[in-house]
């Protein structure tokens, strides 16, 4: 396949990392087979909390996928040349996260063999149909863009002209995937904590904070481990985006909080009691909600201080905070929060089980391996192109030697430890 | 002009299509569908099956679970001790959980806790149908029953998130492990599909009443066509005050509670 | 030249392995019996001509299923004018038994047990108390 051979050379640490990921995938595959034969009853989900970690992770990853637009848009629409080296990394991250999204939906299905029924009997009134459609479309678009532009770079040509409109199309499409995902929740009459028009804007804001934060971390690690530098300006540019998005996200939360607490309508306050304030009965989400909120606020304060942002060490720390706080907020709390109080007023605890967490970790490992391989291919193409012809050889050698670059740069390293 | 939710959903769908410039065809099929729906609503020769539960009569026979037993037997409903895995088509809930808690504030405790049967409301605008990505659940035109096709369900559980009444159950484990005997007249379900009450569609086809209605010793459940002004259920609804669960959500539930 | 015997033996073994399916087929044709199906004792006719049933009973079942579940039609008029209830357990299984009929032929044809039985109840099982 396309340039796969570039991913097949690497140092010992590269192979150790890839091997480790493969082992995790293998283990989680066994867990999946167990779930397949025993039913979804092996997870912590229940009659009342009927969606859990899988769908939460799915929602979070849709955000990471959509956030590629935050490098594509400035680069192509506003001619921010400093993002040149970063766009392809962003797009590869998008491809990997969309794949993870699809896997998360798949492992959540009760009868996965029947998945094609979605396409055999399409229901235009179902948001899920549109979500599937927009996600598959987004995957195709980004796969096409990355392949074509890498190919062009490798042969030192300009990318063909027909790819430009597709790149432009990817911008509104990225917005659409997360908007439709928000509609998935916001359109349900009975779930008060989801049924708010701010769902889509808040999803987008948190996505545009978490995704670019992850990208910053990946770029910093790439530089540290392979010497490949996307440029300080690019990182600083992204960090401004993260700051704005995080500020807007926190602002949206405060707006929701005000509306709920001041109006004092029970259906609205419930969510925030579950997450932040606490009542006698609602306890299982409380620590998660509070930690997430605390991390969000700390991250925002850090990001707002220019000095902190300009120093890449502290920036990295802030990005870790951004990413993990939003991972908890969206990947754990958001979905479960809608189910904690059942339509009949029962409060149900939800704790993911070991098989469930193993499967989740496995999907993250798939994403990590995709990012590793994609970045390796991208780097060897870029580096070979940029180095003078004579040095190209040596460079390829060096990058192979430093192939462990990706060890820490994969999302698995950040997300897995929470799962 | 009345702008129904259905039209709104279709319009948003159409906007999505236009936005991304694909599947233009879907707009046309969508438009046709809504035409059919509006002409369909104009003719009122169709049935709209509904149920009335007289809670006073039900109260007379405390600890009676005959309706539930009849349903469980008729439909091979498994019994699981673990509440997470339970399957419920018709079951009982404390009275004050059915309606807004504020309305029962000063009710005596034992009136509050009176167990009252609940089941699928067979809504006029069922959210579960709206969200189902495969058409495995749909609203039957002829009599308004919200049907299930267990052969098509993929087990995504979107309908469970959508149902504001908690009327849907998922088969978290193989249901046959929770059954002592099998009733050959109705198939069991399989691990990984969602299920719910269908007003005994299979019995109605044979000219029988729903199993729960037939089993009730107090005749507390009245079943009939809400579109027929002469039907017993309509007569009762005309002469007494009845409640429905969460009507403010616009789902149009068809199960009424006489209090 | 001591290798020769090994080479020849190896070649023969290889030939034997590679032509095994052929010999197996010959043997099977000579020895195999069509499955002995337990046929209904008191009935002569199926719901459709036997040639059709033999090849297309799965299609008929799927048609029945769609018609019952999705179109609310439960009656089926057969080619000889009899009216049947469209039901897997209620009709087919009145005349046929699962073990000696459906299963035996499916096993012979190598199609496995259709997943329908995950839900549809074999009446022979229904009487048995399950653990």
The shortest CB-CB distance from B86 to any of A47, A109, A185 is to: A47
Residue C122 lies in a domain: no
| Nearest chain B residue (CA) to A131 | B133
CB contact under 8 A, B142 and C90: no
Residues A47-70: b if buried by 16+ CB within 10 A, e if exposed = bbbbbbbbbbbbbbbbbbbbbbbb
A174 contacts: CB under 8 Å, gap ≥ 6:
A65, A66, A67, A68, A69, A72, A94, A138
In B, minimum Cα distance to A115 occurs at B154
Taking the C-alpha atoms of residue A363 and residue B57, their distance in angstroms, rounded to an integer, is 54
Q: Are residues C105 and C58 in the same domain?
A: yes
What pLDDT score does C11 carry? 87
User: What is this structure's pTM?
Assistant: 0.87
Task: Show the tokens assigned to C18.
Answer: 């590679």
Closest CA to B132 of B153, B116, B117, B115: B153
Of the candidates A247, A273, A278, A279, the residue with the CA atom closest to the CA atom of residue A260:
A273
Q: Which residues of B touch A128 (CB under 8 A)?
A: 131, 133, 156, 158
Helix (H, G, I), strand (E, B) or coil at C83: strand
Cβ–Cβ below 8 Å for B16 and A130: yes
**Model pLDDT for residues B163-208, shown as the tens digit of each residue:** 999 999 999 999 999 998 899 999 999 999 999 999 999 999 999 9
Together in a domain, C26 and C63: no
Q: Could you tell me which chain B residue has the CA closest to the CA of A191?
A: B164
Residue of C nearest to B179 (CA): C130
For residue B23, is it within any domain? no
C-alpha angle with apex A276: A274 to A280, nearest 5 degrees? 50
Q: Going by C-beta distance under 8 Å and a sequence separation of 6 or more, which residues neighbour residue A36?
A: A112
Beta B221-225 vs B137-139: how paired, if at all?
unpaired
Of A139, A56, A151, A147, residue with least CA distance to A94: A139
Q: What is the pLDDT of residue C128?
A: 55
Residue B67: which domain range? 49-258
The span from the CA of A158 to the CA of B92, in Å, is 69
pLDDT of residue B43: 46
What CATH number does the domain located at A15-385 have?
1.20.1630.10
- Length of chain C in residues, anyone? 131
Is residue C9 included in any domain, yes or no?
yes
**CA gap A188, A183 in Å, rounded:** 9
Q: What is the rounded average pLDDT of the residues B142-161?
A: 96
Within-domain flag for C2: yes
User: How many domains is chain B partitioned into structurally?
Assistant: 1
pLDDT at A179: 97
Residue A264 DSSP SS3: coil
In C, which residues are within 8 Å of B185 by CB distance? 89-90
CB contact under 8 A, B171 and A39: yes
- Confidence (pLDDT) at C31: 59
Q: How far is C53 from chain B (nearest CA, A)?
A: 22
* ipTM passes above 0.90: no
* C62 and C95 belong to one structural domain: yes
Contact at CB, C125 and B182, closer than 8 angstroms: yes
What is the Cα–Cα distance from A363 to A365, expressed in whole angstroms?
A: 5
CB contact under 8 A, B184 and C121: yes
Asked if C3 reaches chain B (Cβ–Cβ under 8 Å), the answer is no
How many structural domains does chain C have? Answer: 2
**C-alpha distance from B43 to closest chain A C-alpha (Å):** 23
- Considering the domain architecture, whether residues C55 and C23 belong to the same structural domain is answered as no
Number of Cβ within 10 Å of residue B199's Cβ equals 26
What is the per-residue pLDDT across B209-248, written as a single tens digit (0 to 9) for each? 999 999 999 999 999 999 999 999 999 999 999 999 999 9
Q: How far is B173 from chain A (nearest CA, A)?
A: 5
Q: Which residues of B touch A124 (CB under 8 A)?
A: 10, 13, 26, 29-30, 33
Are A128 and B156 an interchain contact pair (Cβ–Cβ within 8 Å)? yes
Q: Assess if residue B4 is contained within a domain.
A: no
Residue C21 covered by a domain:
yes
Classify the C-alpha dihedral B19-B25-B28-B31 as positive or negative: negative
pLDDT of C130: 46
Domain boundaries, chain A: 15-385
For testing contact with chain B, the best of C70, C90, C96 (most B CBs within 10 A)? C70
C31 sits in which H/E element: helix C20-31
Pairwise CA distance, residues A218 & B149, whole Å: 47
Q: What pLDDT score was predicted for residue A155? A: 82
C72 in Cβ contact with C116 (< 8 Å): no
What pLDDT is attached to residue A284? 79
Write the pLDDT tens digit of every residue in A24-37.
999 999 999 999 99
List of chain B residues whose C-beta atoms are within 8 Å of the C-beta of residue A40: 155, 170, 172, 192
- Of residues A17, A14, A105, A2, the one with CA closest to residue A58: A105
- Give the Å distances, CA to CA, from B72 to A278, B91, B196: 39, 10, 12
Q: What is the average pLDDT score of chain C?
A: 85
Contacts of A109 in chain B (CB under 8 A): 154-156, 192
Chain B residue closest in CA terms to A338: B161
Q: What is the CATH number of the domain that holds B191?
A: 3.30.70.20
pLDDT number for residue B28: 42
> For testing the chain B interface, which of C58, C74, C130 should be mutated: the one with the most B CBs within 10 Å?
C130
Compute the distance between CA of residue A98 and CA of residue A88 in angstroms, rounded to an integer.
15
Say whether B131 and A41 touch across the interface (CB within 8 A). no
Residues 170-229 on B with a CB inside 8 Å of A are 170-174, 190-194
Q: Is the dihedral of CA A119, A122, A124, A125 positive or negative?
A: negative
Report the mean per-residue pLDDT for chain B: 86
Q: Which of A111, A113, A133, A172 to mutate to test binding with chain B, by most B CBs within 10 Å of its CB?
A: A111
Residues 6+ apart with CB under 8 A from B72: B79, B89
In chain B, residues 222-251 whose CB comes closer than 8 Å to chain A: 246, 249-251
Taking CB atoms and an 8 Å cutoff, what residues of chain B touch C90? 184-185
CA A39, distance to chain mean position in Å, is 27
pLDDT at B70 over 90: yes
| Rg from Cα positions in chain C | 23
Mean pLDDT per 10-residue segment, chain A (419 residues): 72 92 98 97 96 97 95 89 89 96 97 94 95 95 92 84 92 96 95 93 97 96 89 94 97 95 88 82 81 96 96 96 97 92 89 96 97 91 65 47 42 37
Look at B205 and C119 and tell me if their CB atoms are within 8 Å.
no
Residue the block writes with tokens 């659940």: B137
* CA distance to partner chain C, nearest, from residue B126 (Å): 17
**Across the interface, do C69 and B188 touch by the CB < 8 Å criterion?**
no
**Is the CB of residue B29 less than 8 Å from the CB of residue A123?**
no
Q: Which residues contact A373 (CB under 8 A, 6 or more apart)?
A: A4, A7
**Which residue of chain C is at minimal alpha-carbon distance from B139?**
C70
Nearest chain B residue to A105 by CA: give it: B156
Contact A124 B250 (CB under 8 A): no
Q: How distant is the Cα of C87 from the closest Cα of chain B, in angstroms? A: 9
**Is the CB of residue B112 less than 8 Å away from at least one CB of chain A?**
no
pLDDT at B102: 59
Q: Would residue C36 count as lying in a domain?
A: no
Is C18 in the same domain as C59? no
Contacts with B, C 60-99, CB within 8 Å: 65, 69-70, 72, 74, 89-90, 93
3-state helix, strand, coil in chain B (%, to 5): 40, 15, 45
* pLDDT for the residue A393: 45
Question: C touches which chains (3+ CB pairs under 8 A)?
Answer: B
pLDDT band at B259 (very low <50, low <70, confident <90, very high): confident
Q: Which domain holds residue C18?
A: 1-30
| H-only helix segments in A49-126 | 53-66, 69-77, 84-108, 117-120
Subunits in contact with chain A (3 or more CB pairs closer than 8 Å): B
Nearest CB among B84, B133, B165 relative to A47 is that of B84
Residue among A110, A118, A190 whose CB faces B133 most closely: A118
CB–CB of B187 and C126 under 8 A?
no
The answer on C85 and C55 residing in a single domain is yes
Tokens read off for B88: 């419920």
Interface of B with C in 106-145 (CB under 8 A): 140, 142
Share of chain C above pLDDT 70, in %: 88
- Please indicate, yes or no, if residue C5 is contained in any of the structural domains: yes
Helix (H) or strand (E) holding B93: strand B90-94
Q: Which helix (H) or strand (E) holds A167?
A: helix A163-186
Mean pLDDT (whole number) for B26-55: 61
Q: Which residue of B has its CA nearest to C128?
A: B181
Q: For residue A226, which of A394, A100, A399, A54 has the smallest C-alpha distance?
A: A399
- Of the candidates A111, A129, A188, the beta carbon closest to that of B161 is on A188
* Helix/strand number for chain B, H first, E second: 11, 10
What mean pLDDT comes out for the span B146-159? 97
Q: What is the pLDDT of residue A341?
A: 87
pLDDT at B108: 80
Rounded Cα gap, residues A358 and A362, in angstroms:
6
- When pLDDT is averaged across residues B7-15 and rounded to a whole number, the result is 58
Q: Which residues pair with residue C80 across a beta bridge?
A: none
Q: What local confidence, expressed as pLDDT, does residue A347 receive?
A: 87
pLDDT value of residue B9: 57
Question: Has residue B30 got a pLDDT over 60?
Answer: no
Residue B9: inside a domain? no
* DSSP secondary structure string for all residues of A191-257: -TTT--TTHHHHHHHHHHHHHHHHHHHHHHHHHHHH-----HHHHHHHHHHHHHHHHHHHHHHHHHH
DSSP codes of every residue in A326-393: HHHIIIIIIHHHHHHB-TTS-B------HHHHHHHHHHHHHHHHHHHHHHHHHHHHHHHHHS-HHHHH
How far is the C-alpha of B85 from the C-alpha of B73, rounded, in Å?
18
What distances in angstroms separate CA A369 from CA A96, A181, A373, B230, one per listed residue?
9, 25, 6, 68
Give the DSSP letter string of B21-59: T--HHHHHHHHHHHHHHHHHHH---S--EEEEEEHHHHH
C2 — contact with chain B (CB < 8 Å)?
Answer: no
Which residues in chain B have their CB less than 8 angstroms from residue C76's CB? none
Whether pLDDT at B34 is above 50: no
Reading the block at residue B106, the tokens are: 């000063």
In a domain, B35, yes or no: no
| Nearest Cα residue in chain B from C115 | B190
């Amino acid at each position: 396949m396309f340039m796969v051979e570039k991913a097949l050379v690497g140092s010992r640490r590269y192979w150790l990392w890839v091997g480790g990921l493969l082992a995790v995938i293998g283990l989680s595959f066994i867990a999946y087979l167990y779930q397949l034969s025993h039913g979804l009853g092996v997870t912590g989900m229940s009659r009342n909390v009927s969606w859990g970690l899988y769908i939460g992770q799915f929602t979070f990853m849709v955000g990471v996928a959509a956030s590629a637009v935050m490098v594509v848009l400035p680069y192509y629409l506003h001619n921010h040349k400093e993002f040149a080296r970063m766009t392809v990394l962003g797009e590869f991250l998008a491809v990997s996260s969309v794949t993870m999204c699809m896997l998360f939906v798949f492992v959540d299905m009760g009868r996965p063999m029947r998945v094609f029924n979605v396409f055999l009997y399409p229901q235009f009134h179902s948001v899920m149909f549109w979500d599937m459609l927009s996600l598959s479309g987004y995957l195709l678009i980004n796969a096409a863009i990355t392949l074509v532009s890498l190919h062009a770079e490798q042969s030192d040509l300009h990318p063909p002209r027909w790819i430009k409109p597709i790149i432009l199309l990817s911008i509104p499409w990225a917005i659409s995937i997360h908007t439709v995902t928000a509609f998935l929740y916001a359109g349900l009459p009975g779930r008060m904590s989801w049924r708010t028009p701010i769902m889509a804007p808040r999803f987008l804001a948190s996505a545009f904070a978490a995704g670019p934060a992850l990208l910053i971390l990946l770029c910093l690690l790439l530089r540290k481990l392979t010497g490949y530098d996307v440029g300080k300006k690019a990182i600083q540019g992204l960090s401004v985006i993260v700051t704005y998005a995080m500020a807007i996200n926190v602002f949206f939360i405060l707006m929701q909080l005000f509306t709920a607490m001041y109006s004092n309508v029970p259906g609205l306050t419930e969510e925030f009691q579950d997450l932040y304030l606490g009542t006698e009965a609602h306890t299982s989400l409380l620590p998660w909600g509070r930690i997430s909120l605390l991390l969000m606020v700390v991250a925002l304060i850090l990001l707002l201080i220019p000095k902190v942002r300009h120093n890449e060490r502290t920036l990295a720390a802030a990005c870790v905070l951004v990413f993990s706080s939003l991972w908890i907020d969206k990947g754990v709390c958001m979905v479960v929060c809608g189910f904690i109080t059942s339509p009949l007023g029962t409060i149900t605890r939800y704790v993911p089980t070991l098989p469930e967490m193993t499967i989740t970790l496995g999907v993250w490992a798939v994403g990590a391996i995709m990012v590793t391989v994609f970045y390796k291919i991208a780097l060897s193409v870029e580096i070979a192109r940029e180095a003078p012809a004579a040095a190209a050889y040596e460079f390829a050698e060096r990058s192979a030697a430093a192939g462990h670059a990706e060890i820490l740069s994969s999302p698995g390293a950040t997300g897995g430890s929470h799962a | 002009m009345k702008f129904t939710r259905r039209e709104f959903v279709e319009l948003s769908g159409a906007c999505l299509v236009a936005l991304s410039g694909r599947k233009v065809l879907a707009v046309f099929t969508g438009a046709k569908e809504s035409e059919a729906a509006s002409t369909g609503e104009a003719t009122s020769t169709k049935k709209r099956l509904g149920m009335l539960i007289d809670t006073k009569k039900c109260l007379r026979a405390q600890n009676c679970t005959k309706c539930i037993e009849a349903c469980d037997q008729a439909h091979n409903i498994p019994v699981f001790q673990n509440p997470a895995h339970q399957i419920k088509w018709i079951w009982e809930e404390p009275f004050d959980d059915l309606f807004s808690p504020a309305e029962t504030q000063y009710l005596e405790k034992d009136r509050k806790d009176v167990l009252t049967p609940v089941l699928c409301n067979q809504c006029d605008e069922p959210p579960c149908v709206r969200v189902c990505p495969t058409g495995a659940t749909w609203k039957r035109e002829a009599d308004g029953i919200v049907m299930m096709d267990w052969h098509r369900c993929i087990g995504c559980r979107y309908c469970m998130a959508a149902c504001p009444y908690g009327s849907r159950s998922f088969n978290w484990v193989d249901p046959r492990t929770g059954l002592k005997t099998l009733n050959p007249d109705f198939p069991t379900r399989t691990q990984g599909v969602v299920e719910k009450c269908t007003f005994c569609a299979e019995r109605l086809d044979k000219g029988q009443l729903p199993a729960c209605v037939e089993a009730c010793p107090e005749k507390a459940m009245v079943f009939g066509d809400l579109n027929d002004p002469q039907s017993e259920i309509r007569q009762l609804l005309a002469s007494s005050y009845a409640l429905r669960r969460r009507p403010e959500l616009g789902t149009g539930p068809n199960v009424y509670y006489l209090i | 030249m001591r290798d020769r015997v090994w080479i020849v033996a190896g070649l023969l073994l290889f030939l034997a392995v590679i032509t095994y399916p052929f010999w197996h087929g010959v043997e099977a044709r000579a020895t195999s019996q069509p499955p002995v199906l337990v046929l209904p004792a008191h009935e002569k006719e199926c719901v459709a001509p036997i040639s059709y049933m033999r090849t297309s009973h799965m299609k008929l079942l799927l048609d029945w299923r769609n018609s019952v579940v999705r179109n609310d039609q439960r009656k089926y008029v057969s080619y000889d004018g009899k009216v049947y209830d469209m039901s897997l357990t209620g009709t087919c299984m009145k005349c046929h038994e699962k073990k000696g009929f459906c299963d035996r032929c499916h096993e012979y044809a190598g199609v496995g047990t259709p997943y329908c039985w995950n839900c549809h109840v074999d009446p022979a099982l229904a009487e048995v108390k399950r653990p």
